[in-house]
A and B are shown apart, each in its own frame.
Chain A
Amino acid sequence: MPHRVSTVTTEITLSKSAHAIPIAPAAVAGPNVRWDELIQDDHVHGSLYTDPTIYQAELRKIWCRTWVYVGHESEVPNANDYVMKSIGPEPILMTRDKSGRINLLHNRCPHRGNRVCMSEKGNARSFTCPYHGWTFGNDGALRGYPFPSGYEGADRSKLGLGKVARVASHRGFVFGSFADEGESLLEHLGAAAAAIDALCMNSPEGEVEVTAGYLKHKVKANWKFLVENETDGYHPSFVHASIFEVAQSGIGTLYDSDSSAVSRDFGKGHTENDLRPEFRKRGVPLSWFGTTADKMPAYVAQMEASYGHDKAREIMIDGTPHIMIFPNLFIAEIQLFVLQPLSVDHTVQHVTAIQFKGAPDINRRLRQQTMGSVGPAGFLLADDAAMYERTQLGVQASNPEWLYLGRGRHRERRDANGYRIGDATDETPSRGIWRHYKSLMEAA
């Protein structure tokens, strides 16, 4: 067992809800955090979820540095469309300018710092700051300011909206990075790029769309509890027992101890529950979606027309991935979750139904199933959220100080591609997430 980490702070605080927050969590971060002390092979220290200084370090070393998923190109389909998105806690404006290019802009007037855009989405060639009337093109460039004689000699090219340093997209999924330099998006995605490709194959046109709007579900928990839970194959049998029991859902058996599904660590923090072994065993197209081909004749016909009978059958047996792309994009078979940390103990999940371009009959069911499952009242996610929030409370208890992530370590193995895999319910994904996290936090 790991040793105790000495606690520096012993101040007791009371939350507004009169739930005592026992002892302020071990403030071990300070300026010289030893990440290898806090993150061990099968234990992580509780303060990683509760220490505000660690959260600040994460903003600098993860959210302001790596590629972060922002939005999908289909959310701004036309020239001059825009939508409000985020990178970490910061709001980011995603626009499509008149040339069709996607821009990611900081929502901050370079003059006095006011927010220049206050609506969630719309269509606009320019944004005018209401404070002093400065106007910016939807590519961020300063178009003009009132009474310009007061700015004689100013360099207008330096007075545009801040731009996210790097913008790149893969199959319509737009990512941004605040860092001027670093690995390319494809390097960052690694094997996750192929999972996005596989997702898109489920559309007869080879593209997915995000057109159904978002639910915004807030939880009082650290963002990493959510990241880890997304590919935790151990919890569904318990946390979701209530809905599995009453809704003849085929999901439950995918995550029992006899399941042939595997958990996988792709490296770079990306992890998945690969359910295909179970679906292939069933060998029934659309079983992954809890339905059969005869109930979706139009979709099946479109798929066969696009890919040919055999390939379409293969795609419809395998279904869509269940992958957590670090740090914030979770593709959950039929939903997209975008995770947004707000503070050390508050996180928002933005969630929507994935839509297969050109397939209205399956899209309707994708929306209906998503609505039932996710969001603040969802049959699944409300219960996940209860776990996140109680874990956030529980981890503030002072003994033990550690979380144990050793499940399946003895049977962890490598697949044909060299990725670490474990059984369906093993904690191979969590260990992979923490390995990557440590490498990011240790970097200068």
Chain B
Amino acid sequence: MNTLAPEARALLDEVTQFIYREARFQDDHAYDEWEALWTEDGVYWIPANGEGGDPEMEMSIVYDNRSRIALRIRQFHTGKRYSQSPQSRLRRIVSNIEILNQDGDELLVTSNAMVFESSVRGDIIWASRNEYTLRREGHAMRMARKKVVLVNNETALYSMAFLI
């Protein structure tokens, strides 16, 4: 039977706790706490049409650099972001967390997620494969990149202005 070495186990635990925390911030609309998880060069990417080609050349649902992430958060805080006012009620399950690669301070991590959203329109389940680049900055772990590949992103999608 394959067991993880203690250091690998500890790292996986740390990554898992980080991803659970991110999920909780998103579910709870804890916008500022979520924003604080990003590195200064963070990129938040939700491709359209499959895995997404080159996001510099093709439309994505979200392709935010760090300043656009901040803008997204500021827009929520106005209280007039009507697609999230009233806020969607959210709970998500994150699973299948794996560390695919480690390169110095950076980790490449994947997970699967299912999000239950209840909103004015009705109830809906979103499913995705999430890919993270996590970077250790001092004692903290932060997101340098998060790519959310929605399973149904080749079809027409309802609004999803909440954090996913």
Contact = CB atoms under 8 A, between A and B. Distances in A.
B156 A348 contact: yes
Given A16-B122, A212-B58, A216-B48, A383 B158 contact: no
Contacts of B60: 371
Contacts of B56: 364, 367
B72 to A, nearest CB: 7
Contacts of B122: 15-17, 19, 220
Interface stretch (B7-15, B28-36, B80-88, B108-116): B80-88
Contacts of A376: 61, 157-161
A379 B158 contact: no
A362 B7 CA distance: 49
Contact of A17 (B68, B74, B121, B160): B121
A217 interface: yes
Contacts of B80: 241-242, 245
A246 B76 CA distance: 10
B63 interface: yes
A404 to B, nearest CB: 21
Interface stretch (A40-48, A140-148, A307-315, A384-392): A384-392
B59 A370 contact: yes
A383 B79 CA distance: 12
Given A241-B80, A246-B74, A382-B159, A375 B59 contact: yes
B46 interface: yes
B94 to A, nearest CB: 20
A225 interface: no
A371 B46 CA distance: 11
Contact of B158 (A16, A215, A218, A367): A218
Q: Is the interface of B mostly helix, strand, loop or mixed?
A: loop
A220 B157 contact: no
A154 to B, nearest CB: 37
Interface string B29-51: 00000000000000000101100
B48 A215 contact: yes
A371 B79 CA distance: 22
Nearest to B83: A382
Contact of A214 (B59, B68, B82, B118): B59
A328 to B, nearest CB: 15
Contact of B154 (A120, A389, A393): A120
A352 B57 CA distance: 11
B82 A383 contact: yes
Nearest to A243: B75
A215 B59 contact: yes
Nearest to A240: B80
Interface in A357-399: 364, 367-368, 370-372, 375-377, 379, 381-383, 385-387, 389-390, 393
A213 B49 contact: yes
B59 A353 contact: yes
A216 B81 contact: no
A216 B61 CA distance: 9
User: Is the interface on chain B under 10, 10 to 19, 20 to 34, or 35 or more residues?
Assistant: 35 or more
A218 B155 CA distance: 9
Contact of B61 (A212, A215, A389): A215
Contacts of A196: none
A377 B161 contact: yes
A383 B59 contact: no
Nearest to A392: B121
B151 interface: no
A444 interface: no
B59 A212 contact: yes
B82 to A, nearest CB: 4
A239 interface: yes
B116 to A, nearest CB: 13
A91 B57 CA distance: 26
B53 A213 contact: yes
Given A215-B61, A379-B71, A220 B158 contact: yes
A344 interface: no
Contacts of B79: 242
A44 B48 CA distance: 37
A247 interface: yes
A433 interface: no
Nearest to A393: B120
B123 interface: yes
B62 interface: yes
Given A218-B158, A242-B75, A371-B60, A390 B120 contact: yes
Contacts of A381: 159
16 contacts: A17-B122, A120-B49, A215-B61, A219-B158, A220-B158, A242-B78, A367-B56, A372-B68, A375-B48, A376-B158, A382-B159, A382-B161, A383-B161, A385-B158, A387-B82, A389-B121
The 6 closest A-B pairs by CB, nearest first: A17-B122, A382-B83, A216-B156, A242-B80, A218-B156, A382-B161
Given A212-B57, A376-B161, 20 more contacts: A16-B122, A212-B58, A213-B49, A217-B156, A218-B158, A220-B121, A241-B78, A246-B74, A246-B75, A246-B78, A247-B75, A367-B56, A371-B63, A376-B159, A377-B62, A381-B159, A383-B161, A385-B159, A386-B82, A386-B159
